[in-house]
Chains A and B, each alone.
Chain A
Amino acid sequence: MRIELTGIFVDDQRAALDFYTDVLGFTKRHDIPLGDNFWLTVASPEVPDGPELLLEPSDHPAARTYRAALVEDGIPLVQFAVDDVEAEHTRLTERGVVFTQPPTDIGTAVVAVFDDTCGNLVQIIAMKPEPVAAG
């Protein structure tokens, strides 16, 4: 079993595509009209065969309530790996992205949380290298 696709609900699919490609730097994989909406996925250019992220319309009433409650408490819905959280924080802040949690050292990793402007919070994480055993 493999994870090839996972999804998040977004307020507006076209705005979400702009944010996830232009601001975050992902690549569009699928953009197929589906009724009033689209089957819209992005992926990381760093991982050609990596999993796709589905940007799903949030027109289900339960999705709205669920996401609003998570954002209120600062809880991210998805996590992306980066090489350098501080550098991403600087880069994204310059692009106008709002962080709900600045880069924070949590021991084994550095994390930060930002608002994806589409109704979700996203955590970025850079794992610290495993300490080399002494001797």
Chain B
Amino acid sequence: MIGKRLLAYSGRMADVFRALDDETRRLVLDQLATRDGQTLFEICSILAARYDVSLTRQAVSQHLGVLEEAGLIRTERRGRSKYHYFTPEPLAEIARRWPIGQRTEP
């Protein structure tokens, strides 16, 4: 039981690290951390305008899919449009596993 849970947990954590192992995806998180709740169109236009990243919408959409799989973003429909939100909880798991500033002196 515990083994299975641990396996699921490490699988999820592997997804998080894989999702973060890409500059475009990190820039998307930067953007959403600055202003949360953006459409695909807004994410694409800001990537192009501010970061000089000119990818097709399909490519950006795939990056968003990877981030969503890893639990780093979630999407929400408001009206007829779909918005993307940053969900940093998986990053807190990293800090819980390797706490910062709590090391005992040798």
- A residues within 8 Å of B by Cβ? 68, 71-76, 98, 100-102, 104, 106-108, 111, 113, 115, 119, 121
Contacts and interface: CB of A to CB of B under 8 A. Distances in A.
B103 interface: no
B49 interface: yes
Contact of B42 (A68, A104, A107): A104
Contacts of B40: 73-75
Given A72-B82, A100-B41, 12 more contacts: A71-B80, A74-B40, A74-B41, A74-B42, A98-B79, A104-B46, A106-B46, A106-B50, A107-B49, A108-B49, A111-B45, A115-B81
Q: Which 7 A-B pairs have the closest CB atoms?
A: A74-B39, A106-B49, A74-B41, A73-B40, A71-B80, A101-B42, A75-B41
Interface in B37-84: 38-42, 45-46, 48-50, 57, 61, 77, 79-83
Nearest to A72: B82
Tell which of A71, A100, A108, A113 has the most Cβ of chain B within 10 Å. Answer: A100
Contacts, number: 59
Contacts of B39: 73-75, 100-101, 113
Tell which of B35, B39, B41, B82 has the most Cβ of chain A within 10 Å. Answer: B41
Interface residues of B, number: 19
B80 A72 contact: yes
Given A101-B42, A113-B41, A113-B42, A74 B81 contact: yes
Contact of A73 (B49, B50, B57, B79): B57
